A = this chain, B = another copy of it.
Amino acid sequence: MRVAASKLESFCVTALRHIGLSDPDARTTADVLVTTDTWGVFTHGTKNLGGYIRRLRSGGMRVKAAPRIVKEGPAWALVDADSAIGMVGSTFAMRVALAKAKSAGIGYVGVRNSCHFGAAGYYASMAAAEGLIGIAMANDVPGMTVPGARGPVLGTNPLAYAVPTGTAHPILLDMATSAVAGGKVFAAAALGKPIPAGWIVDAQGRPSTDPKIYPRAASMLPMAGHKGYGIALLIETLSAMLTGASIAGHVLSWSFDDTSKATGHGAAFLVLDVNAFMPRDEFEGRVQQTIAEIRSAPKADGVERIYLPGEMEWERREMALREGIDLPEDVVQRLQPVAEEMGVELAQALA
């Protein structure tokens, strides 16, 4: 189904307002989810709206949450997100990190009582949009095994960063520390397709290509073995051990566990103000020259372009804003019950 981004955003705002979210919080959340869809990252966008609403209804995420700074210094802060929907607590925290970085050169904000925050790249790109370097990360319920284990031990803890380039499109990486994001396994399961070997292992630790056994009887593999394990543990340290958030197996799944309980996620945001180090123009010139050099590197046989991290996502977004978002069938199916609960026809609401 092809829908205008603005229509999809209005639909999200209406659905979130319907269950009691304030107008600013509904708009913030809708912007995160729809921006993610415009990037083509459908596993982390409006597909999850219904699940978030279920949790907001049951109290596991608080409709009237008020994220706040509980402790701070000139260049850091600890935020209690008050079990707000993840997008509300995370944008609040990233704004604090941005303000700190603008006044102190660097800003680190750790968050506790957060929830699943969707695409980490959204928060990183908030910094780049203002000419600063942004990094975002979060822990999650264990879905990934580690070398030597056979069951889930750590979350597929995401890491994202964005670097301003002087254009509308920052360098943007948004990755899970697992071989792939869990959402890609769910998407394959929903489409009834097998997955490549190397993505998951079954409950005995054997490789499997059946996405349906995840997460009930399977774990993701970390990217690059011990390296993905190590980076996931660094993210667990910065977003949870250091913030007072729930750690690893103590985090609840936002989609599978008791929807009346807070998930206890943690998150962390780091911002560096380029201007502290050199004039912004000079920095962006250095970035542009590096981009040009990477693009003009000798190409492998059959390759026409070398992409910068995020470049495909920005091009998809431009097309989505111009021609509409081509929502995959599994996303449409998940939005259907959200529309039904409001007593509206989805196709009509998005037309």
Point out residues on A near B: beta carbons under 8 Å: 71, 73-76, 78, 104-106, 108, 110, 133, 135, 146-151, 153-154, 161, 163, 171, 173, 175, 179, 204-205, 223-224, 226-231, 233-234, 236-238, 241-244, 247-249, 272, 274, 276-278, 283, 286-287, 289-290, 293-294, 297-301, 303, 305-309
Most B CB within 10 A of own CB, among A71, A234, A283 = A234
Contacts of A298 in B (CB 8 A): 149-151
Q: Which of B154, B226, B237 contacts A133 (CB 8 A)?
A: B237
Q: Which of B75, B151, B243 contacts A277 (CB 8 A)?
A: B243
Q: Kindly provide the distance from the CB of A42 to the nearest chain B CB, expressed in whole angstroms.
A: 18
Contacts of A227 in B (CB 8 A): 173, 175, 223-224
Q: Which of B73, B104, B241, B303 contacts A290 (CB 8 A)?
A: B241
Q: Kindly provide the distance from the CB of A246 to the nearest chain B CB, expressed in whole angstroms.
A: 10
A105 near B133: Cβ-Cβ < 8 Å: no
Q: Which 8 A-B pairs have the closest CB atoms?
A: A173-B230, A75-B75, A223-B224, A148-B306, A205-B300, A73-B105, A230-B309, A150-B300
Give the CA-CA distance A301 to B303 in the complex, in Å: 42
Q: Which of B78, B238, B272, B301 contacts A205 (CB 8 A)?
A: B301
B151 near A297: Cβ-Cβ < 8 Å: yes
A294 near B223: Cβ-Cβ < 8 Å: no
Contacts of A75 in B (CB 8 A): 74-76, 104-106
Decide: A73 near B104, CB < 8 A? Known: A146-B306, A175-B227, A205-B301.
Answer: yes
Contacts of A105 in B (CB 8 A): 73, 75-76, 108
Q: Kindly provide the distance from the CB of A153 to the nearest chain B CB, expressed in whole angstroms.
A: 5
Decide: A76 near B276, CB < 8 A? Known: A163-B237, A301-B205.
Answer: yes
Contacts of A283 in B (CB 8 A): 241-242
Most B CB within 10 A of own CB, among A171, A179, A224 = A224
Contacts of A175 in B (CB 8 A): 226-227, 230
Give the CA-CA distance A226 to B179 in the complex, in Å: 11
A108 near B110: Cβ-Cβ < 8 Å: no
Which B residue sits closest to A110, measured CB to CB?
B277
Contacts of A231 in B (CB 8 A): 173
Q: Kindly provide the distance from the CB of A231 to the nearest chain B CB, expressed in whole angstroms.
A: 7
A204 near B148: Cβ-Cβ < 8 Å: no
Which B residue sits closest to A227, measured CB to CB?
B175
B110 near A307: Cβ-Cβ < 8 Å: no
Contacts of A305 in B (CB 8 A): 148
B149 near A76: Cβ-Cβ < 8 Å: no
CB pairs A–B below 8 angstroms (27 shown): A73-B106, A73-B276, A74-B74, A76-B105, A76-B106, A76-B276, A78-B277, A104-B104, A106-B108, A108-B272, A133-B237, A133-B238, A133-B242, A148-B306, A148-B307, A149-B298, A149-B303, A149-B306, A150-B299, A173-B231, A175-B226, A179-B224, A205-B300, A205-B301, A223-B223, A233-B309, A248-B290
Give the CA-CA distance A244 to B74 in the complex, in Å: 25
